[in-house]
Amino acid sequence: MTTIQEKTIDLNNINPEDLFIRNTEGGTLYVQVEGDASITFAGKSLELDTYVNLPVVDMGTFTKSDAITGEGFYMCIFGGLDQIQMTASGTGRMHWKVMGE
């Protein structure tokens, strides 16, 4: 697997453009959160006109959830999406990385 895209976001100072991961097709999204944050992900393809929620797996407990609700390391596997939109609130820092073939 290779890194396709990655970014670190200061949750105390979010730019609206930071909330989008564009030009994705499929792969694995890894997210590391440091701080008190609430983050959700939704994906959209060219065929869909609406976003669909993406579940995440907490890699510390291996539990599936619809949202990140605190510090930790999380994973989301997706396919067929052109764009991912995040909603984020809280404090701290988030680093995400999209890995693929």
Angle at 30 between CA 28 and CA 33, to 5 degrees: 160
Looking from the CA of 86 toward its CB, the CA atoms found within 13 Å total 26
Domain encompassing residue 87 = 2-100
Tally the domains of the chain. 1
User: What pLDDT does residue 53 have?
Assistant: 94
Q: Letter for the amino acid at 18?
A: D
- Mean pLDDT value of segment 23-29: 86
Query: What's 22's domain CATH number?
Result: 2.60.120
Rounded distance between C-alpha atoms, residue 80 and residue 39, angstroms:
22
User: What pLDDT does residue 18 have?
Assistant: 94
Which runs of E-coded beta strand occur in the chain? Answer: 2-10, 20-22, 26-34, 37-44, 52-54, 56-58, 63-65, 72-79, 83-90, 93-100
Tens digits of per-residue pLDDT, 54-89? Answer: 999 999 999 999 999 999 999 999 988 889 999 999
At residue 25, does pLDDT exceed 90? no
pTM for the full predicted model: 0.89
Write out 41-66 in H/E/C secondary structure. Answer: EEEECCCCCCCEEECEEECCCCEEEC
